[in-house]
């Protein structure tokens, strides 16, 4: 007879339960986010990914780790740029791999939160009833955070990987710290903590608070006082603080202001930004408990009158004071409350982030603190009775996340919704107008573009959208003043140069139009719309009697996309003018293969063949 198999030990059973819980978290997060994988690039994704030449290769690595210093979302954030370059190497500019990578980062961050909460609740400082339910508290805290719709912007908007990836390193820093504080030989986990923190510093500036929160964690859950934590582990905390040097160096490389996106001296004072953040932080906290309406872009407005936000200021002051009091009297509760505000501080205090004064993605990591606090208090007060309510909350939040991810599938619908929810935001109207222009709906785009100009006339994008819409409507005379103003506001903008060139060509001012189209290509030869600019430049050359110069432009366009029947036809015309009849014949045959019903191409082909036959018989 075979020897009986011994029953699993309590430790083995606990390991199995933990693994099952982790797998369940990942599976439920996948259900909530799987409908996001097919979404397009939107908003800040485009300058950070589509217009970013440093993503196009993985070697030399120094290029990849030097993202453009233009204030886009990857400026000064080399590790995020590297992950985008890896996505580009795998799938080019297909968005699906970028979205799936964002989901994986979110899921890993959820697992890091799960592990951190579970291990923290096993500490002796935690009440016995919570220690017994540590696995369930950790599971529901991670679950509600993973499924909360307020996190969707940080996951579904590709470029907000800056936020989710930073949060992953932040949570793993704290998890590794928790492991080191309970280890007999802590050195390995301490090194892991420092490395994770340094990687976070290379991901996003909010990581600057991680060493502070790590020290507070030690004081709260292990050492019992700040003095004891420092006395016992001062060398480790000096090493952790040294990771600030990584962030300092990165900020110095971009001049300390992240281009035109954030910093002092960019038109927004610390005082007005702080007033704006009183409104912003209260809004974020409200969205934690009532996540509607969610807005992709709140714009760049700031609050200048303290009277407009005095209630929010009083509320925030009270909440921060209560958090400090709780940290002194009830340290575990106070730690979570205070960590919420500490993590928000770099982006939501006095350092102006002028490109977006309010943004939901800034609440991504602080949301984990609030959710964990709420789940912990409910489980402490109601025990297992709270689980049914938390499970129901998870179902509701997951359903809302699925619905929100659905919004991101249609860029036009998303910007239409954003305009409805933030009608005074000119940038939302600019993006809506651009979507309508790309869908060949200039009549619908024009009112949005004009309203954007009314709201903020010094946006070159707003001026150029009016020019493009009017040009597409066949009104180049009206388009010209807006196009000229756009170039005055942004002379180094390839899109505004291209638009002005196109308008001038429509007006028959071919020489001037060619100059601006050529300038657009010089400024951005590899831009996503460069082929459209080349096509317009070819047409301008053709109309101005320079068919030989038009040919290379049309050939470049067709090399990128051979399915463009109109370009094949105009190239055939250019070949014909230059008396390159065999090439003209070939292009016209291609046109008819793509569009067999195109009569002018058939007539032109017969004419070219007749001319070829006449030349052949003459020889």
Q: Cα 89–90–96 angle (5° rounding)?
A: 120
Right CATH for 562-619 from 3.30.565.10, 1.10.8.100, 3.30.300.30, 1.25.40.10: 1.25.40.10
Domain ranges of the chain: 16-407, 562-619
If one counts every other C-beta atom within 10 angstroms of the C-beta of residue 116, the result is 25
What was the pLDDT predicted at 266? 66
Residues in the chain: 619
The two structure tokens encoding residue 28: 């439920």
Beta-carbon contacts of residue 106 (< 8 Å; ≥ 6 apart): 29, 33, 146, 151, 154, 155, 164
Instruction: Report pLDDT for 311.
Output: 97
pLDDT in tens, 405-448: 999 999 999 999 999 999 999 999 999 999 999 999 999 999 99
CA-based nearest residue to 421, from 278, 299, 304: 299
pLDDT at 3 > cutoff 70: no
pLDDT category, 614, cuts 50, 70, 90? confident
Residue 92 or residue 614, greater confidence: 92
Q: What's the pLDDT band for 71 if we cut at 50, 70, 90?
A: confident
pLDDT in the model for residue 502 = 94
Please state which of the ranges 45-49, 81-85, 160-164, 290-294 shows the lowest mean pLDDT. 45-49
Q: Is the pLDDT of residue 12 over 80?
A: no
The greatest distance separating any two alpha carbons of the chain, rounded to the nearest whole angstrom, comes to: 105
In this prediction, residues 311-316 reach a mean pLDDT of 97
SS3 per residue for 474-487: CCHHHHHHHHHHHH
Residue 25 pLDDT grade (very low, low, confident, very high; cuts 50, 70, 90): very high
Residues 425, 265: Cα–Cα separation, whole Å: 23
Could you check whether the bond before residue 60 is cis, i.e. omega within 30 degrees of 0?
yes
Which of 165-169, 250-254, 300-304, 315-319 has the least mean pLDDT? 250-254
Kindly compute the dihedral angle of the four CA atoms of residues 66, 68, 71, 76, in this order, to the nearest 10 degrees.
0
Question: Residue 261: pLDDT above 70?
Answer: no
**pLDDT of 457-505, one tens digit each?**
999 999 999 999 999 999 999 999 999 999 999 999 999 999 999 999 9
Residue 536 has pLDDT above 90, yes or no: yes
Q: What is the pTM of this model?
A: 0.92
The predicted structure's pLDDT at residue 354: 84
Q: What is the mean pLDDT of residues 78-85?
A: 97
User: What was the pLDDT predicted at 350?
Assistant: 87
């Amino acid at each position: 007879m075979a020897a009986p198999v011994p029953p699993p030990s309590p430790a083995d059973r606990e390991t199995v339960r933990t693994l099952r819980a982790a797998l369940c978290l990942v599976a439920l997060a996948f259900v909530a986010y799987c409908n996001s994988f097919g979404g397009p690039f939107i908003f800040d994704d485009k300058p950070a990914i589509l217009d970013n030449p440093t993503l196009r290769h993985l070697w030399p690595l120094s290029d990849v780790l030097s993202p453009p210093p233009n204030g886009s979302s990857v400026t000064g954030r080399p590790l995020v740029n590297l992950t985008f370059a890896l996505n580009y190497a795998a799938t080019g500019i297909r968005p699906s791999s970028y979205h799936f990578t964002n989901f994986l980062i979110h899921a890993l961050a959820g697992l890091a939160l799960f592990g951190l909460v579970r291990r923290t609740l096993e500490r002796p400082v935690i009440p016995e009833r919570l220690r017994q339910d540590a696995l369930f508290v950790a599971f529901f805290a991670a679950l509600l955070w993973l499924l909360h719709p307020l996190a969707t912007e940080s996951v579904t908007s590709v470029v907000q990987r800056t936020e989710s990836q930073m949060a992953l390193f932040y949570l793993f820093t704290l998890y590794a710290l928790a492991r080191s504080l309970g280890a007999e030989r802590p050195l390995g986990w301490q090194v892991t903590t420092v490395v994770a923190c340094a990687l976070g510093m290379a991901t996003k500036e909010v990581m600057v608070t991680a060493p502070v929160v790590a020290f507070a964690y030690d004081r709260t859950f292990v050492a019992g006082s700040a003095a004891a934590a420092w006395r016992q582990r001062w060398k480790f905390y000096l090493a952790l603080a040294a990771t600030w040097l990584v962030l300092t160096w990165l900020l110095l490389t971009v001049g300390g202001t992240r281009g035109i996106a954030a910093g002092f001296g960019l038109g927004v004072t610390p005082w007005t930004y702080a007033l704006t953040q009183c409104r912003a932080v209260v809004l974020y906290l409200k969205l934690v408990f009532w996540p509607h309406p969610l807005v992709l872009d709140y714009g760049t407005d700031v609050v200048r009158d303290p009277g407009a936000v005095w209630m929010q200021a009083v509320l925030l002051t009270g909440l921060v004071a209560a958090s400090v009091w709780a940290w002194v009297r009830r340290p575990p509760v106070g730690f979570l409350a205070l960590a919420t505000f500490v993590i928000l501080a770099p982006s939501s205090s006095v350092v102006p982030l002028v490109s977006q004064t309010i943004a939901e993605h800034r609440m991504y990591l602080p949301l984990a603190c609030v959710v964990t606090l709420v789940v912990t208090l409910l489980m402490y007060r109601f025990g297992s009775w709270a689980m049914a309510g938390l499970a129901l909350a998870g179902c509701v939040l997951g359903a809302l996340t699925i619905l929100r991810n659905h919004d991101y599938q249609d860029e036009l619908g998303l910007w239409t919704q954003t305009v409805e929810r933030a009608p005074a935001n000119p940038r939302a109207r600019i993006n809506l107008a651009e979507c309508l222009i790309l869908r060949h709906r200039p009549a619908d785009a024009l009112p949005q573009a004009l309203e954007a100009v009314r709201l903020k006339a010094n946006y070159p994008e707003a001026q150029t959208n009016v020019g493009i819409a009017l040009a597409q409507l066949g009104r180049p005379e009206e388009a010209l003043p807006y196009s000229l103003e756009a170039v005055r506001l942004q002379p180094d903008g390839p899109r505004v140069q291209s638009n002005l060139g196109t308008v001038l060509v429509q007006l028959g001012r071919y020489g001037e139009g060619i100059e601006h189209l050529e300038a657009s290509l010089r400024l951005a030869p590899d831009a996503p719309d460069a082929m459209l600019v080349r096509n317009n430049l070819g047409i301008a050359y053709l109309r101005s009697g320079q068919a030989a110069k038009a040919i290379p432009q049309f050939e470049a366009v067709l090399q990128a996309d051979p399915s463009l029947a109109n370009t094949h036809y105009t190239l055939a015309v250019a070949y014909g003018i230059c008396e390159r009849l065999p090439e003209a014949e070939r292009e016209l045959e291609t046109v008819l293969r793509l569009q067999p019903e195109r009569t002018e191409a058939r007539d032109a082909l017969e004419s070219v063949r007749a001319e070829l036959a006449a030349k052949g018989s003459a020889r």
